[in-house]
Amino acid sequence: MPLYLKPRKLDFSSGSEPLAVLNQHEAEAYGIQAGDRVELSWDHEKVIAAVEISSSRVNSGEIGLWREVWRGRRLRRQSVVEAELLSRPPSIEAIKKKLLGQELGYDEVYAIIADIASGRLSPVEITYYVASGFVKPNTDNELYYLSRAIAATGEQMNLPMQVVDKHSVGGLPGNRTTMLVTPIIASLGLYIPKTSSRAITSPAGTADTMEVLAPVTFPLSRIREIVKRTHACLVWGGGLNLAPADDRIIKLSRPLGLEPYDKMIVSIMAKKVAMGVDYLVIDMPVGDTAKITTRKLARQLEDKFIYLGRRLNMKVKVIKTLAKEPVGRGIGPALEARDVLRVLQQKPLKPQDLEDKAVYLAGELLELKKFCRPGEGERLARKQLQSGAAWRKMQEIIEVQGGQPNINADAVAVGAYRYEIHAPRDGRVGLIDNRAINGVCMNLGAPHEKIAGLHLHARWNQKVSRGDKLLTLYAPSKERLELGLKAQERTPVMTIS
């Protein structure tokens, strides 16, 4: 139902898009909100404008027109302007359809993703889309459409050589294997342009941890140079525009700490498409408190990865590992970076579990690429660590990314506000609660506060005596330390049974 309004030329210029001002009462009566789009027509003219609302600048029954509307068009004093609210972008209808449990086709998926990428959909509208994934799981087809659409609406790496990659689906605190696998693989001459994420629902992502050692934010053109020179990079993928729609979706998943499985798969695969990955090993920790909780679920996800890989022309292998407790000792960017350096520098305090897992994954990737014979990968990978070749490659990467390549593991700065938690009695360490770790570390300020986090002195099933150190909390401020302690009191990271 259009409005008919008397025009009033306003001597304002927005410098870009045409704006039209409606009286507040009128706008309210018609349910028109600031930012809505209207199509204006009069005599033989037609123009689309965004609505501004004012209670004083125009009277009821009038429409104020900025210069961009009337300049170059015939508008007489007696003209009557017809204003019709433009129907919402079609992607809104697709979102509603999905929210009501129906399957979408490629054009609908593409419309939503393109409007998310371009910023036409508001955060609240995107949230409805994110939430719609809970109404009914996406079909395999929808997942493929999403991966394609997300990659198609972003930038692409376009390297002229074959590219390998390793990706962890996460959910396990610590587990900073990427920062070990990458230099191991690159030290053997393969190309591994690694983009990583920042933390979503955890105390640190690989990008957060790498940033302790070197900058991780570069334009794609610079990353191409880095990779051509060192065969590798360890950069933040979110700083690129590989998957702008996915970045917005992830941002809106944060408040709830939600990451639905199929969104996760799509997010990973879309970025692999954008990076031009040909061979991909996926590390999938499985366990009660990890992101993937059961073997059955793990197999379902594996199937989806393989399915999408096939449709997207990528060789994929999924490595399911048992997730009983964190991998490594430190949790939080700086504390995890210290662990990684301890392995690369083969220090006495190196966390052996972290080293073993990285070597295993690197070995699988070498075998998937047929770089070595089956069964030879792990040995080859370990050699690169022990010979120092992996550390030298990492120094190269750190240097070319603008960090300090001569950093010593034990010189990494960690939070000055500390609190040690001791065993209240003799006994054994029970299962370590990964969710409690996340809660405590986030309350301590991680990942934004690099130096926040905790160090595990004891591991699952270890015998401890009353008074033994169990964990140390690190915080950037007294307030943060108190919040972390509160979280630890409510849901303890470790219990003694």
Contact between 487 and a copy of itself (CB under 8 A)? Answer: yes
Q: Select the residue interacting with a copy of itself from 51, 223, 273, 446 (CB under 8 A).
A: 446
Contact between 92 and a copy of itself (CB under 8 A)? Answer: yes
Backbone angles phi and psi of 244, in degrees to 5: -60, -35
- 445 near 452, Cβ under 8 Å? yes
Residues 303-312: contacts with CB under 8 Å, at least 24 apart: 304/140, 304/143, 304/262, 304/265, 305/265, 305/268, 305/269, 307/140, 307/144, 308/143, 308/144, 308/147, 308/265, 308/266, 308/269, 309/269, 309/280, 311/144, 312/144, 312/147, 312/148, 312/269, 312/272, 312/273
**Is the Cβ of residue 310 or residue 486 nearer to a copy of itself in the bound state?**
486
**Is the Cβ of residue 26 or residue 325 nearer to a copy of itself in the bound state?**
26
Contact between 79 and a copy of itself (CB under 8 A)? Answer: no
Q: Select the residue interacting with a copy of itself from 112, 132, 151, 169 (CB under 8 A).
A: 132
Contact between 75 and a copy of itself (CB under 8 A)? Answer: no
Q: Which stretch binds a copy of itself (CB under 8 A): 132-140, 176-184, 269-277, 339-347?
A: 132-140
Q: CA-to-CA distance for 40 and 12, rounded, in angstroms?
A: 18
- 376 near 309, Cβ under 8 Å? no
Q: Select the residue interacting with a copy of itself from 201, 241, 293, 495 (CB under 8 A).
A: 201
Q: List C-alpha distances in Å: 491 to 258, 292, 454.
A: 19, 21, 15
Q: Select the residue interacting with a copy of itself from 33, 158, 162, 461 (CB under 8 A).
A: 33
Contacts of 173 (CB under 8 A, 6+ apart): 202, 203, 326, 327, 331, 434, 437, 438, 441
Contact between 39 and a copy of itself (CB under 8 A)? Answer: no
Closest approach of Cβ 118 to a copy of itself, in Å?
16
Contact between 100 and a copy of itself (CB under 8 A)? Answer: yes
Site string for a copy of itself, 424-443 (x = CB under 8 A): -----------x--xx--xx
- Residues 225-284 close enough to bind a copy of itself by CB under 8 A: 252, 254-258
- Residues 142-171 close enough to bind a copy of itself by CB under 8 A: none
Contacts of 175 (CB under 8 A, 6+ apart): 168, 283, 285, 326, 327, 328, 354, 357
Contact between 179 and a copy of itself (CB under 8 A)? Answer: no
Q: Which stretch binds a copy of itself (CB under 8 A): 24-32, 310-318, 363-371, 393-401?
A: 24-32
Contact between 105 and a copy of itself (CB under 8 A)? Answer: no
Q: Select the residue interacting with a copy of itself from 85, 159, 372, 389 (CB under 8 A).
A: 85
**Is the Cβ of residue 123 or residue 348 nearer to a copy of itself in the bound state?**
123
Contact between 416 and a copy of itself (CB under 8 A)? Answer: no
DSSP reduced 3-state for 153: coil
- Residues 453-482 close enough to bind a copy of itself by CB under 8 A: 475-480, 482
**Is the Cβ of residue 183 or residue 330 nearer to a copy of itself in the bound state?**
330
Closest approach of Cβ 284 to a copy of itself, in Å?
21
Contact between 411 and a copy of itself (CB under 8 A)? Answer: no
The DSSP call for residue 410 is G
The DSSP call for residue 330 is E
Contact between 3 and a copy of itself (CB under 8 A)? Answer: yes
What tokens appear for 86 in the block?
A: 């433009």
- 8 near 63, Cβ under 8 Å? yes
Contact between 61 and a copy of itself (CB under 8 A)? Answer: yes
Burial class of 215 by CB neighbour count within 10 A (0 to 12, 13 to 18, 19+):
middle
Q: Select the residue interacting with a copy of itself from 14, 41, 79, 127 (CB under 8 A).
A: 127
Q: Name the maximum alpha-carbon separation found in the chain.
A: 91
**Is the Cβ of residue 23 or residue 395 nearer to a copy of itself in the bound state?**
23
What tokens appear for 252 in the block?
A: 């809106």
Contact between 99 and a copy of itself (CB under 8 A)? Answer: yes
Which element (helix H / strand E) includes 385? helix 377-386
The DSSP call for residue 279 is E
